[in-house]
Amino acid sequence: MAKKKALITGVTGQDGAYLARFLLDKGYEVHGIKRRASSFNTQRIDDLYQDPHEKGRRFFLHYGDLSDSSNLIRIIQEVQPDEVYNLAAQSHVAVSFESPEYTADVTGLGTLRLLEAIRILGLQEKTRFYQASTSELFGLVQETPQKETTPFYPRSPYAVAKLYGYWICVNYREAYNMYACNGILFNHESPVRGETFVTRKITRALARIKLGMQDCLYLGNMNAMRDWGHAKDFVRMQWLMLQQDSPQDYVIATGEQHSVRDFVDAAANEVGIEVEWRGTGEQEEGINKETGKCIVAIDPRYYRPTEVTTLLGDPAKAKSELGWEPEVSFKELVREMVQKDLIEAKRERLCVQHGFELFQPQE
């Protein structure tokens, strides 16, 4: 039987990297779209790279951008994919308040461009489509826990753009009979999570604080509640959704909720620091019990103009219809992330001890 071909947009991102590995392990030929950048941006998938001269190669990268229809049409025509996973997006909620139009273009219209490319090329019978929808659609929550039927109330330009992506995917399914589905995924993390999302920011900072490479971690709203899972579990579900008899939308979540402060405590515990919380609101701070030093503080610049204060998913449909269960617990997720960041911090400290000056990006 011919190998199935998958095309992944956003292959250089967290989920793209996990999904590419997952599909290669399943025997797929995997094509990914990467953006042209002024420096290397493929760190998360470098180990998958195969020399173009290698026989039997199954992993291919194409330059492209979700803002460029002609480029998307050309790539899809060339690849003729059985499955398209649309993971590319300007995916940072806070950044979307600063770049709302760009976010609408890439995160919202980008979805339309891909669906149109499939339709224009006459591939709607062959190509199945996965849209990376999000729990941010629920925003100001109307019901707890949130499930497939919970009304949406987006609270950021990012979420509004994803709302467009959600509905255009449903519309192409109904109008053109395409196999197109939305995975409404709650937050999922991993050791390769982007460094400016709160979980990775916390694990990275606490590892560095433990090793004396940083003094304090500055955060915004520590009361925010999220349903955090592991990316590895969630990409399995993305694939499962495209293997069914008929296309449907699913909520993917763990069904367990923690606050940002809980995440700090769990990560601190993993690195071996006990945090004592003092004060409230903008004055709240976390003190290292052993040293008496303040290691966590609030910086209001991380507050968002409109916040999503609480999210908790109900994955019952995914469990009963697709037999999906998350395998990694919250504690295991935090441990894996902290362990990876401790290794990075040790490497960094070693360089400093040997006289190398390191460039530290700030967030």
Query: Which residues form the catalytic set?
Result: 134, 136, 158
Residue 32 lies near ligand NDP (rule: CB under 6 A):
no
Buried b (16+ CB within 10 A) or exposed e, 22-40: bbbeeebbbbbbbeeeeee
Q: Which of 31, 201, 204, 340 binds ligand GDR (CB under 6 A)?
A: 201
Q: Nearer to ligand GDR by C-beta: 8 or 178?
A: 8
Cα R_g (the chain), whole angstroms = 21
Residue 135 lies near ligand GDR (rule: CB under 6 A):
yes
Residue 319 lies near ligand GDR (rule: CB under 6 A):
no
Q: Which of 11, 123, 224, 253 binds ligand GDR (CB under 6 A)?
A: 224
150, interface contact from ligand NDP, ligand GDR, none, CB < 5-8 Å by kind? none
Angle between helices 330-353 and 198-210 (to 10 degrees): 50
Residue 167 lies near ligand GDR (rule: CB under 6 A):
no
Q: Who contacts 227 (Cβ-Cβ below 8 Å, separation ≥6)? A: 135, 186, 187, 253, 254, 255, 256, 257, 311, 312, 313
Element (H, E) at 231: helix 231-241
Give the count of residues interacting with ligand NDP (CB under 6 A). Answer: 26
Closest CA to 195 of 13, 34, 359: 13
220, interface contact from ligand GDR, ligand NDP, none, CB < 5-8 Å by kind? ligand GDR
By the 8 A CB rule, do 226 and 48 touch?
no
Site string for ligand GDR, 74-93 (x = CB under 6 A): -----------------x-x
Residue 219 lies near ligand GDR (rule: CB under 6 A):
yes
Closest CA to 115 of 130, 102, 100, 103: 130
Element (H, E) at 203: helix 198-210
Residue 188 lies near ligand NDP (rule: CB under 6 A):
yes
Helix ranges restricted to H, 272-329: 316-322
Ordered DSSP codes for 79-101: H--SEEEE--S---HHHHHHSHH
Strand partners, 230: 189
Q: Which of 5, 6, 7, 10 binds ligand NDP (CB under 6 A)?
A: 10
| Paired tokens of 315 | 């994955």
Residue 230 lies near ligand GDR (rule: CB under 6 A):
no
Q: Which of 20, 30, 87, 123 binds ligand NDP (CB under 6 A)?
A: 87
Q: Which of 6, 45, 66, 79 binds ligand NDP (CB under 6 A)?
A: 66
Q: Nearer to ligand NDP by C-beta: 124 or 131?
A: 131
Query: How far apart (Å, rounded) are the C-alpha atoms in residues 219 and 296?
Result: 7
Q: Nearer to ligand GDR by C-beta: 123 or 296?
A: 296
Residue 226 lies near ligand GDR (rule: CB under 6 A):
yes
Q: Which of 5, 90, 124, 199 binds ligand NDP (CB under 6 A)?
A: 90
CB of residue 165 to ligand GDR, shortest distance in Å: 11
Q: What is the dihedral of CA 171, 172, 176, 181, to 10 degrees?
A: -110
Q: Which of 42, 71, 221, 269 binds ligand GDR (CB under 6 A)?
A: 221
| Paired tokens of 239 | 């694939």
219, interface contact from ligand GDR, ligand NDP, none, CB < 5-8 Å by kind? ligand GDR
Residue 65 lies near ligand NDP (rule: CB under 6 A):
yes
273: left (phi over 0), alpha (psi -120 to 50) or beta: beta
Residues that bind ligand GDR (CB under 6 A): 91, 93-94, 134-136, 186-187, 196-198, 201, 219-221, 224, 226, 260, 302, 304, 307-308
